[in-house]
Chains A and B, each alone.
Chain A
Amino acid sequence: MKKTFIFCILLVTYVYGALPNVASIDVIEPDIQGAFYYPKFSPDGTRLLMTKEQFVGLWEFDLRTGQTLLISNAPGAGYEPVYSKDRDRIYYLQDTFEKGRRYRSLMEYHRNTKGSQVLIEKERLLTHPLQVTDHGVITRTQSKVLLVGKDTKSENPQTRFVHTFENRLTLYENGKERELYPSGRGNYVWASLSPTGDKILYHKAGEGTFICDLQENILAEFGYANAPVWSPNGQWIAYMKDYDDGHFITESEIWISSVDGKESAPLTNTKDIIEMYPQWSPDSKALTFHDLSGHIYIMKLHVTE
């Protein structure tokens, strides 16, 4: 179930060229207790994946019925899970710790069987699912890029994506990896390919968020913009402006920018709520995000067609 949440969040209205306006903000009310974080829409926009403190466990919330489904209780399960394209399967990580070492497995949950199976077992280094294809998901171990699914496991898939394995910005293209340095040497995080596949959104630690082309030419700058994500229609990016005092996160708001970086505006402007980690709905007409207290929000946008 969801409840219109009108008393705390200030709806931000503004007049910026092509940027969407906020139409409404709702907070969801899962039917199980607890705080949830890092929500992510399903491909049809009817469900959310979400996790708990420090990515422990994975749950699916049905926006239509208000019911919550436990997918996994495992540590790490909530770290960057993805749906299959047909949304019947959910790919997620499962961490185990043995003698101080972390081992990661890639799991596949199937809606029909209501159970999970291991796709890759106990790798010392294994990225979260980096891309979803028709046949499964792509992940990377220490030395290999793999396409894995229920009936599939192959190396060097023919596709294109970017990742930041070990904080290096890397373009994978048809079996080959190429490190990119559009902002010079340093640590890169939060990188993703544009929906059109020809641009890269990335964040360089200490320098900010940028968009570059595949030849490393910087096309747009966004300044202080953390955890940026493309809108599926490719027109905007959403991100958070979070602040801290070195120990505690003290404030954060959700922002939106046009992809050329020329227009930007806050989508939240709240006095007591620390909103973080926005994710787009598949139709680019809504965002979901969490606050530091573990509430999950759905923000609907007025989009000028």
Chain B
Amino acid sequence: MKKFTFFFIIGSLFSTSLLFSQNLSDFRIYINPGHGGHDSDDRFISATGFWESEGNLAKGLHLKRLLENMGATVDISRTTNNTSDDLPLSTISALANNFQADFFESVHSNGFDGKLNYTLLLYRGWDLGVTAVNYGMTVTGALYPLSGEMAPIMANEIYRAHRTTNKHVRGDWSFYDWTDAQGNKMGLGVLRGLTMPGNLSEGSFHDYVPESWRLKNDNYCLEEAWAIAHSFVLLYDQPDFPFRNLSGIVRDPLETVSYYSIAGTGDDKKPINNLVASLYQNDILVDVYEGDNENNGFYLFDSLAPGTYTLIVEAEHYYPDTQDIVIENTFFNHKDFHLISSKPPTVLATTPLPLEEAHPAWDPIILCFSHEMDTASVRENLILEPEEALSFSWDSALRVLTLTPLDDTLAFQTSYTLTIHGNALGNRGKNLDGNGDGIGGDAFTFTFITSAEDITPPALSSEYMYPPISSENIETDVVINLVFSEILADENIDTSHFKLQNYTEDRFEEVDIIHDIIKKRSIVSIVPKTELSPSSIYRTTVHQGGLSDLFGNTMYDRTRAYRFNTGSGYESKQTLDNFQTNFSKWQSPNYSGSTTGIINASIEQSTEKVLPLFNSTHSMKLMYEFDVSQSAHLIREYQTPQAATFNNTYILQVYIYGEGNNISFRFCVDDDIYGNTGHEVSPWVKVDWYGWRLVSWNISQDGTGEWLGDGSVDGTLRMDSFQFTWHDDANPSGVLYLDELRLVTKCETSLEPPLAEIPHTLTLHGNYPNPFNPVTTIAFSIPETQPVTLSIYTINGTLIYRSTTGILPAGYHELMWNGKNQAGIDVSSGEYIYRIETPTHIASGKMLFIK
């Protein structure tokens, strides 16, 4: 480290209050830090704890000071951030008009889907150069021309200060889609009541997590204030500042952040907290900047004289870095730093986990290191016991090592110990810190046990089957999902093995078969090509012969059938959103102040998983990670502007593609939207399924959950949001997809259960499943209203079970037997005879019980 003489010099660091040469003394500027008060129209980013109202206020107060230092007369719509500071737009306009400002500046940050970070400047009117009519007025570009002059200047200044990805200048009439009933473009409310030119600046995107962290840094907000102040200097043709700003971001190049980052920005690397940046000129200390702990790595030196400087950046557990910087004519100067961790390398993660007891023997072993490793020394010092021949493969950063058994698999059901001795080197020749105590030279070791050889054929998991066995009132727009215990080989997953029978009409439906893999399970979806018949009996049929896992274990060759009944048909269907167009109306969950208890949540329009009905081409993908350390959890995924209105006579529906993560879902509607009485929600539904399933809220019959409303859904309704929450039995992170949000009404429901044709005599329809373990269902139809007796006999004719029903109506019925004898004791495996007996008829059949 270079030695310096620590004397401050004044000449290089201007006193901003004394040395402003700009004269804005005849200008009056009104500043509106947007939003305010941490309330419902504020924007909260739960991943970072950022409130837009706070960032806007910090920028606004800095801007006020800078402009006043230049002599301007400035007023600001708020100086604190309480609920009472959240002024209506009409009041803000009135205050600016009373103040008789020459210019109005509304300071904001933007939000969309968490993946954008450009600068946007808006003014009232059409895009520059566009002539069109709005509200009966023919307007070219900006309604106030000075707004149109200022917008590109300010956009450029903020873009240069924050190094956002792009800059856009738009008239609010062109930019926003929101129109009134006459087709007039409504535009921004805060600009329409002004008697002076005004802009609304969206400096950067607060839902882009790296930017959100930066916006929590007060000096980052100061830099944006400098950009806006500089814009007034340029707009009013004042002499430029004699001083310059220098800023940058300090990151750890070896640590990648867990949140989304835009390629090419450097935001994928972890910013360093609590940095110390020391600025020297001619070996004399000019200024010191101490960074915060808000994960932004940002530093700023403002008001520097042009010249050559040396900047040293340090942080605990990092090697310091020194760079020479020449500051010349540009006002905003940037220098980023990468600091290398001075800690010895460690092993961050392994696959399998230490002490894992059933690591698939055919899967590779993966080790993730904290730093770039010396591959040769790792290879020399890595030992697997019992010894196996392994191939070594490194990622490009030399931090992830993949070890693959050369003999296809490790030994089955064997305890292995993997050791890397402390002589393995990484991070500039430092010895491995195996035990993570910060001191290198000790070994890393862990043990695991491999799985048994897979000799078990895949099994159908009845608990995840949809529709469930013998279920009633299933929707006629249904996707049938069969979930297997492991991954199936693709062969034979076709319509000859998976069928859907309309039992009532005795025909097979035309279907498509889709094979998905979720969490090492196969999900086979049977998708009817047309809507199912209402009030009908259906049977899902699986011909297991030929179905096998990836290791050739074939399922027992038999046919299994599962019944379900459809409910009433649809009287009307109205799609509210199929997520194919106008997706931008769905806001980032982080945008909602109601979203809480999450680490991250975002949405995107997706083609990865799309509902295989209605020719859908897109869906909404929700990616979430709940913070399990928090006591409350809610993701509110909402839309604005909001959609069509309806009332409580409808059923609200959406298809959800689940991955068995068990998070809970509910609908939320605005109730009595013109009376402002609040939100009502449906009861929670646990998304514990795999594949697509239709979720319904029969608004007038299903009741409500508890949230902001009064529990009575009785006004004019409007879709507000999808909401999700986490419980202890749910995975804290994952994805799900939504498609075909719609309103339906149902035809009158028949009071009678769906009936097959009433037979002339007692008819047996067999038992399913067969073979079974331990429960089977025996289906039959009776010709008239009468009682039925079910008897079970061994193959030798010994009666082991008998049960008589009450009087049953004529038609189709089912009786279940649970594999127990009359005394309630489990019977043994084997062939059994069931007999259905009515006062007038007897019929019997065979079935096989396999334990």
Contacts and interface: CB of A to CB of B under 8 A. Distances in A.
Interface string B87-114: 1111100110111111100000000000
Interface residues of A, number: 53
Given A35-B184, A251-B674, A251-B676, A226 B26 contact: no
A54 B95 contact: no
A165 B184 CA distance: 34
Contact of B195 (A55, A101, A244): A55
Contacts of A272: 181
Given A102-B100, A247-B190, 9 more contacts: A52-B135, A54-B144, A95-B195, A166-B100, A167-B75, A242-B90, A248-B189, A251-B676, A294-B184
B709 to A, nearest CB: 17
Interface string A52-77: 11111000000000000000000110
A206 interface: yes
Contacts, number: 146
B35 interface: yes
A165 B195 contact: no
A105 to B, nearest CB: 13
23 contacts: A34-B137, A35-B136, A52-B135, A53-B134, A53-B192, A54-B124, A54-B144, A54-B193, A102-B100, A102-B101, A166-B75, A189-B91, A189-B94, A226-B88, A226-B91, A243-B88, A243-B676, A245-B41, A270-B674, A271-B673, A271-B674, A292-B186, A293-B182
A147 to B, nearest CB: 20
Nearest to A227: B90
B146 interface: yes
A187 B90 contact: no
B178 interface: yes
Contacts of B94: 189-190, 227
Given A53-B135, A101-B27, A244 B41 contact: yes
Interface string B177-202: 01011101010111111111100000
B592 to A, nearest CB: 11
A164 B99 CA distance: 9
Given A53-B135, A226-B91, A292-B180, A206 B27 contact: no
Most B CB atoms within 10 A — which of A75, A248, A251, A269?
A: A248
Contacts of B182: 293
Nearest to B39: A246
B137 A167 contact: no
Contact of B88 (A33, A97, A104, A242): A242
Nearest to B191: A54
8 closest cross-chain pairs (CB), A and B? A34-B136, A35-B135, A206-B84, A249-B189, A246-B41, A293-B180, A189-B94, A244-B89
A114 interface: no
A240 interface: yes
Contacts of A12: none
Nearest to A142: B100
A10 to B, nearest CB: 9
A100 to B, nearest CB: 5
Given A34-B135, A101-B102, A189-B95, A248 B90 contact: no
Contacts of A178: none
Interface string A259-272: 00000000001111
A243 B89 CA distance: 8
Contact of B89 (A53, A100, A249, A293): A249
A219 interface: no
B102 A245 contact: no
Given A100-B102, A124-B26, A292-B186, A203 B91 contact: yes
A29 B145 CA distance: 30
Interface string B193-220: 1111100000000000000000000000
A206 B85 contact: yes
A164 B98 contact: yes
A125 interface: yes
A33 B136 contact: yes
A35 B99 CA distance: 27
A293 B187 CA distance: 11
Most A CB atoms within 10 A — which of B86, B186, B191, B673?
A: B186
B378 to A, nearest CB: 54
Contacts of A165: 98
Contacts of B136: 33-35, 52, 294
A42 B136 CA distance: 25
Nearest to A246: B41
A26 interface: no
B640 interface: yes
B237 interface: yes
A3 B162 CA distance: 54
A18 interface: no
Contacts of A240: 90
Nearest to B197: A97
Contacts of B472: none
B interface, over-half SS: loop
Interface in A5-45: 33-35
Interface of A: 33-35, 52-56, 75-76, 79, 95, 97, 99-102, 104, 124-127, 164-167, 187, 189-190, 203, 205-207, 226-227, 240, 242-249, 251, 269-272, 276, 292-294
A294 B185 CA distance: 12
Contacts of B192: 53-54, 249
A54 B184 contact: no
B658 interface: no
Contacts of B673: 271
Most A CB atoms within 10 A — which of B75, B180, B192, B640?
A: B180
Given A34-B137, A101-B102, A247 B189 contact: yes
A231 B149 CA distance: 43
Nearest to B235: A100
B98 A189 contact: yes
Interface string B62-87: 00000000000001011000001111
B95 A205 contact: yes
Contacts of B35: 246
B100 A276 contact: no
A124 B640 CA distance: 41
Contacts of A124: 26
A206 B87 contact: yes
B184 A269 contact: no
Contacts of B78: 206
A244 B91 contact: no
B442 interface: no
A276 B180 contact: no
Most A CB atoms within 10 A — which of B85, B134, B135?
A: B135
Nearest to B78: A206
Interface in B405-425: none
B293 interface: no
B613 interface: no
B143 interface: yes
B522 to A, nearest CB: 46
Nearest to A100: B236
Most A CB atoms within 10 A — which of B35, B78, B136, B184?
A: B136
A293 B135 CA distance: 7
A97 B143 CA distance: 13
A55 B192 CA distance: 9
Given A54-B194, A226-B91, A227-B90, A125 B676 contact: no
A183 to B, nearest CB: 11
B345 interface: no
Interface in B605-642: 640
Contacts of B784: none
Given A167-B75, A205-B87, A294 B26 contact: no
Contacts of A207: 84
Given A34-B135, A52-B135, A97 B146 contact: yes
Contact of A294 (B41, B85, B135): B135
B374 interface: no
A249 B193 CA distance: 11
A165 B89 CA distance: 19
B90 A249 contact: yes
